[in-house]
Every structure is written in C-alpha cells, then in structure tokens.
Homo-oligomer: A and B are copies of this chain.
Amino acid sequence: MKYTEMSAEQLKAEQECLSRKLDEYRNMKLCLNMARGKPGVDQLDLSMSMLDVMHSEVDYTDETGFDCRNYGKMDGIPSMKKMFAKMMQVSPEQVMVGGNSSLNMMFDTVAAFMYKSPVEGEKPWMEVKDRKFLCPVPGYDRHFGITEYFGFDMIPIPLNEDGPDMDLVEQLVSQNASVKGIWCIPKYSNPTGITYSDETVRRFARLKPKAKDFRIFWDDAYCIHDLTDTPDSLLSLMDECKKEGSEELPIVFASTSKITFPGSGVAALAAAGKNFDMLMEKYKYQTISFDKLNMLRHAKFFVNFDGVMDHMRKHRELLSPKFDLVVQKLEDSLKETGVISWNKPNGGYFVSVDVMQGTAKKVVQYCKEAGVELTGAGATYPYGKDPRDCNIRIAPSYPPIGELDTAMDVFCVAAKLAAAEKLMEE
C-alpha cells in the first residue's frame, strides 16, 4: 500500500513497526559502509598479478627504447597514450599520461586557469570576481569541492536521463562571460548512472560560449565500467568538436583507479591543439615527469586495449551481483511506498536514491545510528546543499555482499521510517 494512501492510523502502525526494527539494528552494533566508490577487496585482487610483470629482470624500456626508470617523457609512454586514447575516444597525441589521480589533474587544471587563462589575453580566472561553474546535479562531491575551493559561484543544472538540461546550459554559457566551465561525467554519471545522449554530446560540441576561455571538464571516469550485456554508448566529444571546429572546448580526464588499484593506478588527460600545448607548458614548471615504471607496469599487464576490456569483464562479474542486490532490495522494500525512487544503472559505481523530500538527512542519520555509513546527504549538490533534501548516493562496491545485504535492509527501514514520519507531520 502506498504511503500517501495510508490513513493516519495505518501510518502510525507502520511507523511504530519500522521504529522497532531500526532499534533492533541499533542494538546489533553493525559497522557497515556504503559511503564511497571504493572497489572491493575482491576487485583489487584481480590486479595483483600486475605487480609481477615489473621485476628486476624485466625490460624497463618503452617501445621507443626510452629507459622508464629515469627522468623524462613528460607526456607519458606511447603505449599508455594509445590505451587511454581508446578509453577516452581521442587521438594518442592528444593524451598526456600523468600521476595516480585524475582528480588531481582536474584540480591542477582549474588551478592553472585560476592563475593563467587558457586563452591568451583573457583574465586569469582568479581575477574574474563573479566566476561561475556549471554543476549538473546530482553530481560528484569532489568536483564541487574543487570549484568551491577556488571560489566559484556554482550553478546547479538539472541532470536528466539524457544528460544536463542543455537549454539551460546553452543559455547560461552563451550569455554570461563569467561562466568558465562545466563538470560532466558523461557516461554512467556519478551518482545517477545516466549516460549523455548523442544529441547532448552534439549540443556540447556546438556550444558558443560568451567566455572565450570556457572549458568542458569531461570526466570520463566510468567510460568502460559496464555492468550489463547492454552497455550504454557515448559519442566521442572530441570527434564532435572536431566536426564543429570547437576542439578547444573539452578537456577529457580518465584513470585506471577503478580498473587496477585506486591510488596506484595511472591517470590521463586529453586536450586538443593549443589547449594541450598550454597544459604541457604548465606541467614543465610543475614536475620533471610522472611515474613511467607504473605506466609500463600497466602496459605490460594489459598488453593492449582488449586486455583492458577483458579485465573489466572480471570487475563486472564481481560488481553486478552487488548492484542487482541493491536494486532488488529497493524494489522489494521501497517500491510499495510510492514516495521513493531510484535508478538502475547499466554501469558505473553508484545507485542514486531519491528518498521522500525533506528526509535524506534523517535517513542518513538513522543509518548512522544503526552502524551503516552513507555519503552525507546533500553531498551530491554544490556546497553540500540538496534543496529538496532527498538524494542519497549508495556505493555498493566496497562491502562484501553479505554486509551489503544487511546494510540495504537497514537503509530501507530508515528510508521508510523517515517517510512515514514525514507524512505523519503533514
């Protein structure tokens, strides 16, 4: 029976029943975590043999004969440039392979533009006092953290099933020279799992920004992170931009953090022409070179891009039962309420749940009391403020499936309890 159709008495009975259940969980002293998109231990085990491919007897040169142990090759070794080019749907010469973190490369890029605009003659972003960044919501808290750190006015953009509200994006970008960028996770978006439609990608390529130094931060974090036999597909933004003569717009980011080891993977960015040259020029001041032995370790482990895709299938085997469980629990337990909704992603790392409006903080708090840690309510919005207080991001990857089962039971009870209480107030 839908909660909205319940009588006051029925609601009260439901609330009492759920409250007792939550108390039972509170007494169990659980310690479960669905907060961050951390790969599970079983997923990390998939890459252990990568540690064996680099040893003391190994050939430590890249395909050009370069000694990967020493300084040099700022843009990375050719085999990894090629591998990332396929992942990111760009040309190898547009790729710079960096350190262990694509987030760090995004931070570095915004930081660089704060001090020097990517376009000669334009003001550094720091001098644009009312600088703005577009933030499709719900989105990734660490993206928003970077633009908050650098003092951007963050404008939330509704994220629909086919991508950000492009009417709004086009309007803001074309009319306002202080709009300097947009955060995008175009495939299996964090947290809603949606993939931008072909038309959305084309509209991005056709943007005519008022700010000459407007840039699209295209975080392709989940580009090959499929969970089903019918994976989503994404157009290459760089290809579309080439057709439109707007190749200066995108900066594409990706990493192997959720392919091999988080923290010990390899990250990369891709940009075209002057954009690329300008970023490389900046990196020359920043460092001498990144970890090419780790690049070589990855290159030897995967052999080629097919090797990467084979490896991703193993991740999928471990992850999809967890996602199936989460979605099944939500279906079984929450569908009947009629006031809670969620997505069923074809890939990525999250299930996004919209609990009843005005209850997300309470749900997270109830879960915490019962020993289940979730991403903070509001984290998927700029400044941590979800105006409807309803979005919660569930990260099923880290807990073993048994723990996930219990954690989801707790979550469902908490979500229903908060909804019943809310309705009783009204």
Contacts and interface: CB of A to CB of B under 8 A. Distances in A.
Contact of A287 (B44, B103, B292): B103
A291 B146 contact: no
A95 B261 CA distance: 24
Contact of A69 (B261, B290, B291): B261
A108 B290 CA distance: 15
A58 B49 CA distance: 11
A55 B44 contact: no
A56 interface: yes
Most B CB contacts (10 A, CB to CB) among A146, A262, A263 go to: A263
A69 B48 CA distance: 9
Interface in A286-303: 286-294
A100 B264 contact: no
Given A126-B126, A294-B294, A103 B70 contact: no
A101 interface: yes
Nearest to A126: B126
B58 A286 contact: no
A294 B266 CA distance: 13
Interface in A78-108: 99-101, 103-104, 107-108
B44 A285 contact: no
B286 A107 contact: yes
A383 interface: no
Contact of A71 (B36, B70, B126): B36
A52 interface: yes
A17 interface: no
A101 B72 CA distance: 12
B70 A287 contact: no
Nearest to A58: B51
A345 interface: no
Given A55-B51, A292-B263, A70 B38 contact: yes
Given A55-B52, A56-B51, A69 B101 contact: no
A52 B56 contact: yes
Contacts of A155: none
Interface of A: 36, 38-39, 41, 44, 47-49, 51-52, 54-56, 58, 67-72, 99-101, 103-104, 107-108, 111, 114-115, 126, 142, 145-146, 149-150, 257, 261-264, 282, 284-294
21 contacts: A38-B71, A39-B70, A44-B70, A51-B54, A51-B55, A52-B55, A52-B56, A71-B257, A71-B262, A72-B263, A99-B99, A99-B291, A104-B287, A108-B286, A114-B114, A115-B115, A145-B284, A149-B285, A261-B293, A263-B292, A291-B294
Given A100-B291, A104-B286, A264-B291, 17 more contacts: A36-B71, A44-B67, A55-B55, A68-B263, A71-B257, A100-B290, A101-B289, A111-B115, A115-B115, A126-B126, A149-B282, A262-B288, A263-B289, A263-B292, A263-B293, A264-B293, A264-B294
Query: Which 4 A-B residue pairings sit nearest by Cβ, starting from the closest?
Result: A264-B293, A104-B287, A48-B56, A149-B285
